[in-house]
Structure 1
Amino acid sequence: MTGINRRELGLGLGAATLSAALGGRAAAAQAPGTGPGTAAASAKDALSFPADFLWGCATASYQIEGAVKEDGRGETVWDAYARTPGKIADGSNGDVACDSYHRYAEDIALLKALGVKAYRFSVAWSRIFPSGSGKPNQKGLDYYNRLIDGLLAAGIEPHMTLFHWDLPTGLKGGWQSRDTALAFADYAGFMAGKTSDRVKHFMTVNELRCFTDLAYWNGNKAPALRLPMDQVNQVRHHGVLAHGLGVQAIRAQAKAGTQVGLADNATIFVPAIETPEHIDATRKAMREENAMFLTAIMEGRYIDSYLAAQGKDAPKVQAGDMAAIGSALDFVSLNVYTANTVRAADTPGGYEILPHLANSPRMASPWLNVSPEALYWSIRLVSELWKPRKLYISENGCSADDPVAKDGKVYDADRVMYLRNYITHMHRAAREGYPIAGYFLWSLMDNFEWEDGYTKLFGIHHVDFKTQKRTPKLSADWYRELIRTNRLV
């Protein structure tokens, strides 16, 4: 299943044997000069992560908070979408979800019990500006101040995401309108000015492809439109523009020492075989297939092949847009769940993306093909292509069926398998010296999973949605031990 299996990684072997084996494999996998080639883990324990590696958990506002009509919160596209019959698999919505708006102290306690040192959460834009712009709502800001202060009191760093899909419906035209990007910048600057005395890591937007392509082209996420390609490309442009203007606004308003990045679900590719020609093809695929999002952000331009492919449908770009989109970042965060396999091929791009087979291993969600190598190759390819200062994995996790046992516990050994294999490949990236600084597991707890409602569960804590009781799963116990020892377990 994995490119480096447990036997190859030397679980059960001596540290010296493992170190030699990994060193040899890394050298064989990399062409001269393509990787940093520095050991990042302690030589005393080849299974360890760097001493300052940051372990955390992640959530999103609409998926956990509930309280959708309390304290001045405005309506979002997901409120409207979830109330539309037939749109959510089980007919549910996020009106209550995990009720974290009222139970945030319980959730901080879960984080503290795990031993994590960071929590990635998102702010509901409509709690701060109920219609997306205009006069700020103090009660909404008060909630996030309580959350931030509670995290810091527990010794947990807050990592704030400013937009995780819950767009205020008061922003007319949504992402079809350039004004939405401008409104986002105002909101981002406001939040930075109010919270950067305590929050030192801001992510502008989460998963550009999801709130643009999947929402305005495929139509399976709110607001569920199916636009022609020229309008889709303009929506994409407004999304990356919002990110860039948001970076500029945060830097203008934030206190000294604030770091700014984004959380992107770039399409990830892994080589069919770790040979120079297939690795080179994979690098090409990574740049080309993410041309409208991460490539544009990291290079400050739309590459020629993308513009040529779009032709008359290419986005309309105003003066200064690309400079804003390419604003320098302090870190890049990646949401990594699955990957596509690439081989070198005699095609215009020099690569071919191989199809997922019907019997390919996958988790409970049909889209979640198991690709543990994705964590290594996402880090390596982004590092080699664009040389970011620092990288985080802002999301990684999986859905599972999660039956509750007679003793009330969830023994999700399949999720433990998934996490162990993926994190093993992240460990490889750390050992090879790529700038991976931290990992946020998705998710802290079961929650509202967008169009799947509550039928797909990603949490390492079980939530009884009738009583709101949180119970650690086997995966929480496993993650706690990983954090405690800071080494593969």
Structure 2
Amino acid sequence: MAQFNRRDIGKGLGLAATTLGMPAAARAAMPRDASFPSDFQWGCATASYQIEGAVNEDGRGPTIWDTFSHTPGKVANGENGDVACDSYHRYAEDIALLKAMGVRTYRMSVAWSRIFPEGRGKPNPKGLDYYNRVVDGLLAAGIEPYVTTFHWDLPQALPGGWQNRDTAYALGDYAGYLAKSLGDRVHNFMTVNELRCFTDIGHIEGRHAPGLKLLPAQGNQVRHHGVLAHGLAVQAIRANARPGTRIGLADNTSFFVPVIETPEHIEAVRRATREENAMFLTAIMEGKYLDSYLAEQGAAAPKVQAGDMKIISSPLDFVAINVYTPSYVRSDSGPKGYKILPHLPQSPRMASPWLYVGPEVGYWSVRMVSELWKPKALYISENGCSADDVMADGRLDDADRVMYLRNYMTHFQRAVAEGYPLKGYFLWSLMDNFEWADGYSKRFGVHYVDFATQKRTPKLSAAWYRELIRRNALV
């Protein structure tokens, strides 16, 4: 576990040790090394159902999100992903947007039901042809693809969905086929995106597809099937990909910030990070469910078969984390040793009600994952924000999004400067897209999409990100 004192932190921030006794105003006037490592990977991220559209073309099978979004009352304004950004037909235009910003990596997902319309069985050659074209186009533009095998769009035909243990094996089979088919050009795979979302929000809270509100025991079993699917996908990709292929996952881990940066509150954050993620990243990285989690769930604890935890904890080449908003934690005398503080009504947030602004989470997310589980490498697989974007005179000056990104980037840079193994960053998102249950009402892109015409327009944030990449340093 890395330990840093005041002198270490001063060095990490690029300050000479002699500045530690200086008045704040004098320190602020000192130059600061705000650069990133020369090999740092800058990228953007999207997901298949959110951008592709073309839901009935070239043999694609229906997914649970097609069903959910066409169910009245489930998605804002009755919207769906039938057309989305029409990236299925406009992918070359989208690659050009990436190239214009100077990104060298692109995190994309493959629609499972384009490859296997019924989830398994005979592969669909037209679906694979599409992703071959995308991958080849990216490589021709000097952009390296990072492919996520599953980003929520589960084939509707799979019996029982995530309640059925067999779905985890189906995902493994599909991931192995994808690695064999694309692995001559794709060298980085992520198994699943945001376990907590497609399990809890979809099956316990009911706000996402398939819209279920299961009993605790059933919900915990869905969680177990999700982490099992991840492990099976790791093994299948490893067995079918070329030597040197790197495998990880993209997880929306619950992250915490100490209310004050003192030892007792930092220890509370460490405890909270491990305990509050017991059913997901903790299980994956430690190969077990914590005794505290099992005791808390009691009779509703997941049923684990022999060998499951070994599969779930299959070794990873990197861990990628989606970082948006923190919870704040203080030390507590209770049995857990920490207390999670509620966000107050006046807490600053972006356009989405859940997206509270807490830039320090950029540093603490990287530090805690690094210290707790010591991954070989870390990536920020998503970071960005919604804003109430309005075009004016052909421009969109989203200074609020620039504010958000700049402040978060400051804390990612602190983590890099202190030596944590953060190797790359994928901004969410390349362009406005279908934002799940929020439909098209929340815009996260650095390119504005007019969904009536499909015209893409760079926002101020795209120019800011381009300059950040050009300098490889904070802007």
The TM-score by the shorter chain falls in which range? over 0.9
SS at match of 2:43: strand
**Equivalent of residue 231 in structure 2, options 229, 240, 244:** 244
Q: Which runs of 4+ in 1 moved over 4 A?
A: 15-18, 21-25
Percent identical pairs in the alignment equals 71
Which of 415, 418, 442 does residue 404 from structure 2 map onto? Answer: 418
2:435 aligned partner: 449
Q: Which residue of 2 aligns with 1:20?
A: 16
Q: Could you report, residue by residue, the CA deviation over 1:22-80 in whole angstroms, capped at 9, with x for unpaired residues?
A: 9959xxxxxxxxxxxxxxxxxx9711100000000000000000000000000000000
Partner Cα separation in structure 1 for residue 391 and residue 462 of structure 2: 15
Aligned alpha-carbon RMSD (Å): 1.7
Residue 19 of structure 1 aligns to a residue whose secondary structure is coil
Cα 1:70–1:21 shift into 2, 3 Å: farther
1:109 aligned onto 2:96: yes
What SS does structure 2 have at the residue aligned with 1:101? helix
Q: CA offset at residue 20 of structure 1?
A: 2.6
Residue 74 in 1 paired to residue 61 in 2? yes
Write the distance in 2 (CA, Å) between the matches of 1:437 and 1:23: 29
Residues 16 and 179 of structure 1: CA distance in aligned 2, closer, same or farther (over 3 Å): closer
1:55 & 1:84 partners in 2: Cα distance? 38
Report the equivalent of 1:392.
379
1:487 aligns with 2:473: yes
- Per the alignment, in what secondary structure is the counterpart of residue 339 of structure 2? strand
How does the TM-score come out when normalised to structure 2?
A: 0.95
1:19 offset after TM fit, Å? 1.9
Show the counterpart of 1:202.
Answer: 189
CA offsets, 1:463-488, max 9 Å, x none?
01111110000000000000001000
- Give the residue type in structure 1 aligned to 2:16: A
State the partner residue of 1:33.
Answer: none
Alignment deviations for residues 347-391 of structure 1 (CA, whole Å, 9 cap, x no partner) = 111000011000000000000000101110000000000000000
**Deviation at 1:21?**
7.1
**2 CA distance for matches of 1:347 and 1:131?**
49
* 1:23/1:288 CA distance change after superposition, 3 Å: farther
Structure 2 CA distance for aligned equivalents of residues 302 and 142 of structure 1? 40
1:21–1:482 Cα change, 3 Å = farther
Q: Secondary structure at the match of 1:68?
A: coil
User: Whole-Å Cα distance in 1 between the matches of residues 34 and 261 of structure 2?
Assistant: 22
Per the alignment, residue 42 of structure 2 pairs with: 55
* TM-score under structure 1 length normalisation: 0.92
Q: Taking structure 1 as reference, are residues 214 and 332 closer, same or farther at Cα in structure 2, changes over 3 Å only? A: same
Match of 2:313 in 1: 326
Structure 1 segment 226-305 matched on structure 2, within 5 A = 226-305=213-292
Q: Classify the secondary structure of the residue corresponding to 2:302.
A: coil
CA distance in 2, matches of 1:353, 1:175: 30
Please list the CA deviations of residues 87-131 of structure 1 after superposition, one character each: whole Å capped at 9, or x if unmatched. 111111100000000000000000000000000000000000001
Measured after TM superposition, the shift of residue 18 of structure 1 is: 5.2
User: Which residue matches 1:474?
Assistant: 460
Q: CA deviation at 1:139?
A: 0.3
Asked if residue 221 in structure 1 is aligned to residue 208 in structure 2, the reply is yes
Q: In 2, Cα distance between the equivalents of 1:57 and 1:433?
A: 24
For 1:400 and 1:17, the matched residues in 2 are separated by 30
How many equivalent residue pairs? Answer: 458
1:172 aligns with 2:159: yes
Matches of 1:441 and 1:345, distance apart in 2: 35
Match of 2:446 in 1: 460
Q: Over residues 242-277 of structure 1, what are the superposed CA-to-partner deviations in whole Å (9 max), with x where a residue is unaligned?
A: 000000000000001100000000000010100000
* 8 Å contact kept, 2:12–2:414: no
